[in-house]
Structure 1
Amino acid sequence: MIDVTLENFESEVIAASMDQPVLVDFWAPWCGPCKTIGPILEKLEGEYGGGFKLAKINSDEEQQLASAFGVRSIPTVVLMMNGQPVDGFMGAVPESKVREFLDKHVTAVVAEEEAAAEAPAPELDAEGQLERLQHAVATDPANDDARFDYVKALLMAGRLADAKRAFEPVAAKAPALRRLDALRRWIEAVEAEGAHDAAALDARIAANRRDFDARYAKAQSLFAKQQWTAAMDELLEILMRDKSWNEEAARKLYIAILEIIEPPKQKTAEGQIPSDDPTVASYRRRLSSVVLS
């Protein structure tokens, strides 16, 4: 979905409609029916997977465009193909009717894209992967698995500010969901990076092996630098000496790291099975051995 003005109309509507259908939605902030049809169109743009592009025009601010299309009432929706209007409707029609309208024009486009999707997709570079994940989250904001993968990829790329923005919609759910809690702890570790001098932490630990604050800070720093096993080794040093220190902070951070480095579960006919990554398996056993001892 894109907001269209007179300045970008040529590129975002006329030129764009040469490659894919463009659905133009004329609306206004004061228009009650517009608030009904707008979300329907935005939802269907995602569901049709690129079958059409949604362009929204504020008819109050862009009266010249509204006049050019002969808009007499809003909402008015016009479908553009190959640079020309081919169909349209007025009013807040039900979603089922909008689907019928779209299916007359964009089903073939969707079918072509689905056929193309069956072919092996080329391997994406890091930026391409991020764009794919961002699209998955935008299409289905309630998909926590997709959001986990997206925020994780942003943190892996060192894009802390973007990761925090992407994580914010699910931050309230983090205490109840282990994977989201793992992201929260990773973000906190990255934010804390640089607050402590590594040499000073090592000196404190050498002077007092039970300086758990120093060990925990060092583990956070290693976590932030994506030195997973080194961070967990430092946390094990705390757990071996005091499993309940600071309300089990070491165990919780250790589990968070395991959640981050665990490969995606394999899907089978019977459901999902855990990965057999040797590093993850080894560090899970070490945690169990220490906690249960």
Structure 2
Amino acid sequence: MIDVTLENFETEVIAASMNQPVLVDFWAPWSGPCKVIGPILEKLERDYAGRFKLVKIDSDQEQQLAAAFGIRSIPTVILLMGGQPVDGFMGALPEGQVRQFLDKHLPAAAEEEAQEEAPFEDTAPADAGAQLEKLQHAVATDPANDDARFEYVKALLLAGRSDDAKVAFAPVIAKTAAVRRLDSLQRLMDAMDVAAGLPDAQRAAADFEAKIAANKRDFEARFGKARLLMAQQRWTAAMDELLEILMRDKAWNEDLARKTYIAILDIIEPPRPKVAEGQIPPDDPTVATYRRRLSSVVLS
């Protein structure tokens, strides 16, 4: 268990989660439920023997980090994989429920050794192929279901199958002006096409950085950098760059930065889980945080 502050957050959480799932416990010393869940998480870290890394963030002392994750109550526990939050829960759950939460996301113990040498971001969920088949079947069964098509095309794009994604997207391409999420897919495909056409993406990124350093209002360079980050699936970095444009010129280039930012939110928002009638499913922490940031900039 590691205590994390703003100074070591990037190393101990973001960078670490590229190689190993990181469980972040937002707590406060005065909270009774935190004193209950804390020992449970520490026990499970020992029991799971390296299958995840536990870190603790004092939400009173590290208010900037708590705000970045949209923490509204404590304890809140968030699991990060590949640099991104993937799931979380609030409150002091019993040990059995926390195990169920972990087992839903962590590779089985027998798989761990086989995956050690592969970078975490290159490992796909075991059921990724089955999920794609399920989405493909949903589209084939109901071609007019734009929600199913959105999820199917998105899954193909994120899996690097851009040609297949374009084929699946073709029947609805005329609807992009009217259906926002389809427009969001088009923007992602455009960004990927631009990135694929660069002779050297690393050099292009360096050129963008140099232009921005010389002129912070070089919005074309900022937008080019954001689209390159978007194509690389570095979502939060891309949105941070688009926010830099919006903070200086909210309506730049016919709202291009804002529309692209919203497209990223559409792409990264996971499908809402089914909940009991009358209940509201929890927001994804990253999506909720970046929605608030957009609102604060656009409405200021």
Q: TM-score, normalised by structure 2?
A: 0.54
Aligned to 2:180: 178
Partner residue of 1:265 out of 257, 272, 275: 272
| Residue 236 of structure 1 pairs with residue 243 of structure 2 | yes
Q: 1:274 to 1:187 in 2, by over 3 A?
A: farther
Q: Which amino acid aligns with 1:244?
A: A
Aligned to 1:188: 190
Q: Which amino acid aligns with 2:221?
A: A
Identify unmatched segments of 5+ residues in structure 1.
1-122
SS in 2 for 1:266: coil
Query: Take 2:234 and 2:179, find their aligned partners in 1: how far apart are those partners?
Result: 24
Deviation at 1:133, TM superposition (A): 1.2
Given that residues 275 and 281 in structure 2 are in contact (C-alpha distance below 8 angstroms), is that contact kept between their aligned partners in structure 1? no
Query: Take 1:209 and 1:272, find their aligned partners in 2: how far apart are those partners?
Result: 45
**Counterparts of residues 20-39 of structure 1 (less than 5 Å):** none
Given that residues 157 and 165 in structure 2 are in contact (C-alpha distance below 8 angstroms), is that contact kept between their aligned partners in structure 1? yes
Identical counterparts, % of pairs: 71
Please list the CA deviations of residues 161-218 of structure 1 after superposition, one character each: whole Å capped at 9, or x if unmatched.
1101101111111111111111011011101114361111111111111000010011
Aligned to 1:291: 298
Please list the CA deviations of residues 140-176 of structure 1 after superposition, one character each: whole Å capped at 9, or x if unmatched.
1111111111101100110111101101111111111
Given that residues 174 and 181 in structure 1 are in contact (C-alpha distance below 8 angstroms), is that contact kept between their aligned partners in structure 2? yes
Please list the CA deviations of residues 109-149 of structure 1 after superposition, one character each: whole Å capped at 9, or x if unmatched.
xxxxxxxxxxxxxx962222212211111111111111111
Query: Take 1:129 and 1:269, find their aligned partners in 2: how far apart are those partners?
Result: 24
Deviation at 1:273, TM superposition (A): 3.8
Given that residues 264 and 275 in structure 1 are in contact (C-alpha distance below 8 angstroms), is that contact kept between their aligned partners in structure 2? no
Identify unmatched segments of 5+ residues in structure 2.
1-124
Q: Which amino acid aligns with 2:248?
A: R
Aligned to 2:141: 139
Partner residue of 2:259 out of 252, 266, 286: 252
Cα-Cα RMSD? 1.7
| Residue 154 of structure 1 pairs with residue 156 of structure 2 | yes
- Greater relative contact order (CA < 8 Å, ≥ 6 in sequence): 2
Q: Which amino acid aligns with 2:190?
A: E
Aligned to 2:169: 167
Query: Take 2:231 and 2:242, find their aligned partners in 1: how far apart are those partners?
Result: 14
Aligned to 1:280: 287
SS in 2 for 1:281: helix
**Counterparts of residues 57-68 of structure 1 (less than 5 Å):** none
Q: TM-score, normalised by structure 1?
A: 0.56
Quick check: which has more Rg, 1 or 2? 1
